[in-house]
Amino acid sequence: MSNSPDVLFLMLDSLRKDRVSTYEHDRETTPALSTLATYATTYENAFTPAPWTLPSHASMFTGSFPSEHGVTNGFSDGMSRLEPSQSTLAEELSAEGYRTAGFSNNPWVGQLSGLDRGFDEFVEWDLEISSEMDDGIHTRRDERYSKYHSILGKAARQPVFLLKRRFFTDSLVDRANRWLTRQAENPEPTFTFINLMEAHSPYFPPKRAFEELGLEVPGPLEPRILNTKLLAYVMGKTDLDAETRRRVMEYYDASVRYQDSKVEQLLGLLQTEGLFDDTLVIVCADHGKTLGDYPRDENPPHYLRDINLNVPLWIKRPGQSTGETIEDPFELVSLFDVVRDGNPPSGRYTRDVAIAEDFVPHAGRTTPDEITRWRVAADQEFKYVRNDEDEEHLYDRADDVSVSRPDPDRLEACAQRLSERVRGFGSDRDETDDDGSTQAGHEIDASVEAQLKDLGYM
Q: What is the pLDDT of residues 143-201, one digit of tens each?
A: 998 998 888 777 766 554 545 568 899 999 999 999 999 988 889 999 999 999 999 99
62 or 437, greater pLDDT: 62
339 or 79, greater pLDDT: 339
CB atoms within 10 A of CB 410: 14
Which of 55-59, 219-223, 311-315, 443-447 shows the lowest mean pLDDT across its residues? 443-447
Residue at 2 is within a domain: no
Q: What is the CATH number of the domain that holds 345?
A: 3.40.720.10
- pLDDT at site 394: 97
Residue at 133 is within a domain: yes
pLDDT at 77 over 50: yes
Kindly report, residue by residue over 241-279, the tens digit of the pLDDT.
Answer: 999 999 999 999 999 999 999 999 999 999 999 999 999
pLDDT at 4 over 70: yes
CB atoms within 10 A of CB 184: 15
Closest CA to 162 of 123, 170, 175: 170
Residue ranges making up the domain that contains 178: 7-454
Report the distance separating Cα 226 and Cα 252, nearest Å. Answer: 12
Q: How far is CA 4 from CA 1, 61, 167, in A?
A: 7, 18, 34
- The DSSP bridge pattern shows strands 392-396 and 401-402 to be antiparallel
- pLDDT at site 305: 97
Local confidence band at 430 (pLDDT 50, 70, 90 cut-offs) = very low
Kindly report, residue by residue over 324-375, the tens digit of the pLDDT.
Answer: 999 999 999 999 999 999 999 989 999 999 999 999 999 988 889 999 999 9
pLDDT at 450 over 90: no
| Local structure of 458: helix, strand or coil | coil
Where are the alpha helices (H) located in 15-129, listed in sequence order?
31-37, 53-62, 66-69, 89-95
pTM: predicted TM-score of the whole model, two decimal places: 0.93
Report the distance separating Cα 261 and Cα 204, nearest Å. Answer: 15
Report the distance separating Cα 129 and Cα 118, nearest Å. Answer: 14
CB atoms within 10 A of CB 87: 16
Residue at 158 is within a domain: yes
**Domains: count for the chain:** 1
Residue at 1 is within a domain: no
Closest CA to 357 of 315, 387, 335: 387
Closest CA to 239 of 158, 294, 288: 294
Name the amino acid, one letter, at 55. P
41 or 431, greater pLDDT: 41
Local confidence band at 89 (pLDDT 50, 70, 90 cut-offs) = very high
Local confidence band at 434 (pLDDT 50, 70, 90 cut-offs) = very low
Kindly report, residue by residue over 385-421, the tens digit of the pLDDT.
Answer: 999 999 999 999 999 999 988 999 999 999 999 999 9
Containing 75, the helix (H) or strand (E) segment is strand 74-75
Name the amino acid, one letter, at 1. M
Report the distance separating Cα 387 and Cα 390, nearest Å. Answer: 5
- pLDDT at site 451: 75
Mean pLDDT, residues 286-303 taken together: 94
| Contact (CB, 8 A) for 133 and 225 | no
Local confidence band at 134 (pLDDT 50, 70, 90 cut-offs) = low
Q: How far is CA 339 from CA 71, 266, 369, 389, in A?
A: 21, 19, 38, 36
- pLDDT at site 432: 41
- Give the rounded percent of residues in the chain with a pLDDT score beyond 90: 78
Closest CA to 356 of 335, 326, 389, 332: 332
